[in-house]
Structure 1
Amino acid sequence: MRSKHIVKEEYDTMMDWAGRAIEIMAMTFVVVIGVAVLAAVIMFWIDRTQTGDAIRRNYPVIGRFRSLFSELGEFFRQYFFAMDREEMPFNRAQRNWAYNASEKKGNTIAFGSTRNLNVPGTPIFMNAVFPPLDDQYSTTEPLLIGPHCAKPYEAPSIFNISGMSYGAISKPAVQALSRGAAQAGIWLNTGEGGLSPYHLEGECHIVYQIGTAKFGVRDAAGDLSDDRLRQVASNPRVKMFEIKLSQGAKPGKGGILPAAKIDEEVARIRGVPMGQDAISPNRHREVNDFDGLLDLIARIRDVTGRPVGIKTCIGSADPWFDFFREIKVRGAESAPDFITVDGGEGGTGAAPMPLMDLVGLPLREALIRMVDLRDLAGLHDRIRIIASGKLIVPGDVAWAICLGADFVVSARGFMFSLGCIQALKCNKNTCPTGITTHIPSLQKGLVVEEKDKRVAAYAKAVINEVETIAHSVGVPEPRLMRRRHVRVVGDDGASVQLNELHPSVQIDDEGQVSAGGHPQFEQALKRMQV
C-alpha cells in the first residue's frame, strides 16, 4: 500500500494544477472581456464619428445589428418563416421538387396539395375521361429545326438547358452540365460567353449563343468574324446558333460579367481584358432594323450551315408584325429557324434591379403573342418556338407547350440540380455551392462526377412528368397538348378554358391559315399583308 505521505503529495500536486488552471481561465476571461470592451469602445468611436450611416451614428455599436439582420434575413426567411409556396423567385415547393428529381427521390406527396388553386393565373390541366392506356403512350419524337440549312438539326428532347456562359458559372458547373446533358440526350446552350473546352467535355449537343459582344466569334475590332464562325461550326457537337437580341432579366441591357469573375482563361475565351467588367452592348451594332436582322441570320446560316435562331424578350407584339411581313416578302427560307421567347421573369447572373423587376412582358403573355404571330404568318412548321423564363417544374413546362412552344429551356432549374440553394450571390463571386464562383475553395463543393448524374436525372424527371400530364389530358405525347387542355383561374376565382381567352390560329391540313372569325386575328392578318 502507498503511504499517506505519497497520497498527500499527489493530492497537493493535483490541487496545484487545478489552481493554475483556474488562474489561467480567469486571466483568459479577463483578457477576452478586455478585448471585447476595447473593441466595443473602438466601434463606438468609429460609429459615432462616421457620417454615412445615420442609425450607426445615433446608436453606436448596436446599430450594426440592423445591417447584419438585414443581410441574414433572406436566409432566415427561407428556412424558418416563409411558407412552401411564398418565396421568390422560386419557392420551397419548387426547389424541393428539383432537388428530389435530381437525386432520384420520389416526388409523390401525401394528404393534399399545398397549392392555392384560387390565385389568379393558376393553370389547371383538364384531365380526360378516357385517357390513353399504358400501352398507348408514346415518347416525344425528335423535331426537325432548320429544314433549309446544309445541316438541319433533329432535336431529340422537348426540355433542354438554357444559356449559362462560362464565366458567369464555374468550370465544374459547365463540366457537370455538359456531361449530364449528354447522359439525358438534351442540348446545352453556351450562353454568350463563348465555347469553352468544358462545354465539349461531355460530348453533348451544343447551341452556340452569339451575344451582342460576339464573344468567341469576333475579330480584334470586336466585329463578327466569319473565320471564327467557321471554326466553331467545324465542331460536330455544335448543332445550332442563337443570336441573342435581349433577355427577360435585362431587356435593353447587354450582358454584365463582373471583373471579379474574369480570370485568365475566361478572358482568353471571351477575348476581353482582365481587371474590368465585361459589358456587352445593349444590341448588335450592325443591326438597326428587322431587315438587318434577317441579313445577319442569313449570313451566319450561310457561313456555318447550321440552323440559326434568335432569342428575345418582348415588350409589345406591335414591332414584330414588321418582322413577319419582311419574312413574307423575302420568302420562308429567310426566316429564323427558331425563336426563343424569354419572359420578363427570366434570370441572370447580374442585372439592374429596375430592368429585372419592371421591363419586359411575362412569358404567359409574350409566348402567346409570338406563337400567334408565327402561325398567322403561315410559318408554323418553319419556325420553332422555344419558351424560356422560370420554367423549372413539369407543370410549367407542360403549360408552355399547351400555349404553343415546341421546346422549353431552363437555366435555374438545372442550377438547382447542381445544388443551388438560392443564396442570391450569383453576381458576387461568393456562391457557397461553387456554381457561380471562380474561387477554387468554393468550387470544391461541386463534385462533377456526382452532379452530372443529378443534371441528367432532373432532365429525365421533368420530361417524364410532362409526358404524364399529357397522358392525363388525353393525348399520347406532349406536343399534342393544346390550349383547350388547360384552364386558367381568373380574378373571381373561377377558371376559364385557355382557348376561350386566347383562341389558337386555325391552320388546315394544307397549312392554310384562317382567322376563324376572330376579329383580332382578322386585323392581324391585314397588318401582315405584303
Structure 2
Amino acid sequence: MTTFIEALSDIFVFIIGLAVLGLIVLFFIDRFQTEDTVRRNYPVIGRMRYILSELGEFFRQYFFAMDREEMPFNRAQRDWVDDASKAKSTNVAFGSTRNLDPVGTPIFVNCPWPTLERDAETSAPLRIGDGAARIPYDAPSVFNISGMSYGALSTPAIRALSHGAAKAECWLNTGEGGLAPYHLEGGCDLVFQIGTAKYGVRDEDGNLSDEKLREIAAHDQVRMFEIKLSQGAKPGKGGILPASKVNKEIAEIRGITQGEASISPNRHIDISSNDELLDQIAHIREVTGKPVGFKTVMGAYGWLETLFEEINRRGPESAPDFITVDGGDGGTGAAPLPLIDNVGLTLREALPMLVDIRDEAGLKDRIRVVASGKLVTPSEVAWALCAGADFVISARGFMFALGCIQAMKCNKNTCPTGITTHDPSLQRGLDPANKAVRVANFVKQMRKEVGVIAHSVGVPSPRGMKRYHVRLVCADGRSRPLDELYPAVGVQPG
C-alpha cells in the first residue's frame, strides 16, 4: 500500500513538474515573440485575455444576455422556432417580454369582431409565371425555405430540408451551389438558383450552358429558376466557399476544381443592364419552360423604375415572374463585416418600396414579390404580408429548426451542430429523419400562427392582410398605420 501511494505521489510530482516546465516554456515564448504586445509585456497571463474573449460570446449567450438582447437573433426568437419545430406549445405566460417602444416595432390592429375559426381559410396556392412560362407554378405555401447551397450546408442538413419541405408542402431554394441529389431526395418542390458563377449550369469556361439548363429543368421537382443578383450577406460581392469545403462531390456538382476556394464574381458578367437582365430572364424561361425571377438587395432603386418602364414597353410577358427582395442586414453567407453591417437597405424599408414601384407600373398581377430577411417568427412574417409580399422565405429560421445554436462558426467548417460543416464527426450528430420532422413542424406552426394574427385583425386568411392592419412605432413614441407611412398606390390611407 505504501509503495502504491509513493508511486501516485511520484506521478503527481511529475505532472506538476511538466506543468511548471510548460509554463516556463510559454513564458520565454511570450517574452521574446514580437507579434503580440500583451503577451510580450505579460507572459503567460496575457494569454488569458484571448481565452476569456473567445469564451465571452458563449457566456453572454447562456448566462448574461436577456431574452430579447442578442443579435442577430435573440433567445426569444430562437426559442419560438425551437418550440415550433419540436411541436411544443409556443404559448407564454405573464405578459410580453418584448419592449414595444423601439422605433419600427409592428403593432397589429385587432378587430373587435375577429374571424371565427369556422370561417377561417388557408392561403390558396398562388400561380407564378402565368401567361409567360410554359409550365407555371402553383405555389402551395405562403412560407418557404430560402437559398442555402449544398457545400455551405452539409449533406444531412440538405436531406433534412428536402424531406421536411415535402412534408410541409413548401418549396426549397437550392442556393447558388447547384443541384445536389440530396435536394431531390425528399421529393419537394425546388427553386434552382443561378448565382454569378452559374454553378451547376455552367460550361467549361464558366458561361451559362443551355444544355445543362435543360438537364436541370427536366426534373419535375424543379419548379422555378432564380437569378441571384445579390443577397443580404453580400450585396455587391460574390459567394465564398472555403477550399476546405470543396470536396470531390461538391466540385462535380458545381463544375469547379476540387480543393480550391470557390469565389463567385461580384455580379453576372453577362448582365450589366436592365435590357440584358430581361433578355437573360426571357432566354432561361424559353430554354426551361419554367418561371424565372431574380433576387436582389435594394440600395439604389431608380433602376427598378427604369426596369418596369422597359417591361411595359416590351410587354408584360417580358417581366420576371417573381422578384425576391432580401434585407441588407446579413444572411447565412460568410462575408466581409462592412457588407453585412452597412450595405443595402433593410427589408423594413425595401419591401414596401419595391411593392409600390411594381404596383405603380401596373404589374401587381404579373410579378410576385418574395420577401426574405430575418423573418423567423409569425409577427415578422405577418408584417411582410401586410407590406405587400406574396410569399415569405427564411434561411436562418430553418437553420434553427435543424438545431442551430447560433455558434457563429458557419464559415469555419467547425459547426457544432453539423449544419454547416463537412467534418463527418460533426455531421453525425444531425439526424436527417428527425430534423425533417422539425422542419415540417416549423412551417406548419408558422402558417398556423400567421393565420391567428390574420384572424385577429379580422380577415379569413394571411394574404388578406393589408397595410392598414399594422402600425409601426415612430420616433415620437406614437404608432402610425403602415398605409400612412407607405401609402399603397391608388389606395387612400385609412
- TM-score, scaled relative to structure 2: 0.99
- Match in the other structure for 1:127: 110
Offset of 1:20 from its aligned partner? 2.0
Q: Output the amino acid matched with 1:388.
A: S
Write the distance in 1 (CA, Å) between the matches of 2:272 and 2:442: 40
Consecutive unaligned residues of structure 2, counting only runs of 5 or more, are none
- Judge conservation of contact 2:233–2:333 (CA < 8 Å) in 1: no
- Match in the other structure for 2:7: 24
Q: Output the amino acid matched with 1:215.
A: Y
Write the distance in 1 (CA, Å) between the matches of 2:267 and 2:305: 20
Q: Output the amino acid matched with 2:104.
A: G
Q: 1:154 aligns with which of 118, 123, 138?
A: 138
Asked if 1:63 corresponds to 2:62, the answer is: no
- Match in the other structure for 1:89: 72
Q: 1:403 aligns with which of 364, 372, 387?
A: 387
Offset of 1:313 from its aligned partner? 0.3
- Match in the other structure for 1:217: 201
Q: Output the amino acid matched with 2:91.
A: T
Deviations 1:341-400 (A, max 9, x none): 000123123101110111000000110111001000000010000000000111100000
Write the distance in 2 (CA, Å) between the matches of 1:265 and 1:135: 51
Asked if 1:285 corresponds to 2:269, the answer is: yes
Offset of 1:21 from its aligned partner? 2.6
- Match in the other structure for 1:440: 424
- Judge conservation of contact 2:355–2:389 (CA < 8 Å) in 1: yes
Offset of 1:492 from its aligned partner? 2.1
Offset of 1:320 from its aligned partner? 1.3
Write the distance in 1 (CA, Å) between the matches of 2:403 and 2:117: 34
Q: 1:338 aligns with which of 313, 316, 322?
A: 322
Consecutive unaligned residues of structure 1, counting only runs of 5 or more, are 1-16, 508-515, 518-530
- Match in the other structure for 1:510: none
Write the distance in 2 (CA, Å) between the matches of 1:62 and 1:492: 50
Deviations 1:151-200 (A, max 9, x none): 00000000000000000000000000000000000000000000000000
**Backbone CA RMSD of aligned residues:** 0.9
**Among the aligned pairs, what percent are the same residue?**
64
- Judge conservation of contact 1:132–1:476 (CA < 8 Å) in 2: yes
Asked if 1:40 corresponds to 2:40, the answer is: no
- Judge conservation of contact 1:301–1:307 (CA < 8 Å) in 2: yes
Write the distance in 2 (CA, Å) between the matches of 1:304 and 1:156: 21
Deviations 1:113-143 (A, max 9, x none): 0000111110000000101112110001000
Q: Output the amino acid matched with 2:80.
A: W
Deviations 1:444-500 (A, max 9, x none): 000011110000001111111001100000000011101100000111221111111
Equivalences for residues 361-400 of structure 1 within 5 A:
361-400=345-384
Write the distance in 2 (CA, Å) between the matches of 1:276 and 1:350: 17
Write the distance in 2 (CA, Å) between the matches of 1:255 and 1:348: 11
Write the distance in 2 (CA, Å) between the matches of 1:348 and 1:100: 22
- TM-score, scaled relative to structure 1: 0.92
Which is further off, 344-353 or 305-314?
A: 344-353
Write the distance in 2 (CA, Å) between the matches of 1:120 and 1:365: 13
- Judge conservation of contact 2:168–2:444 (CA < 8 Å) in 1: yes
Rg larger for: 1
Aligned length: 492
Write the distance in 2 (CA, Å) between the matches of 1:132 and 1:189: 33
2:43 aligned counterpart, secondary structure = coil
Q: Output the amino acid matched with 2:90.
A: N
Q: 1:140 aligns with which of 118, 123, 144?
A: 123
Asked if 1:200 corresponds to 2:176, the answer is: no
- Judge conservation of contact 1:346–1:388 (CA < 8 Å) in 2: no
- Judge conservation of contact 1:316–1:361 (CA < 8 Å) in 2: no
1:506 aligned counterpart, secondary structure = coil
Q: Output the amino acid matched with 1:47.
A: D
Write the distance in 1 (CA, Å) between the matches of 2:440 and 2:414: 26
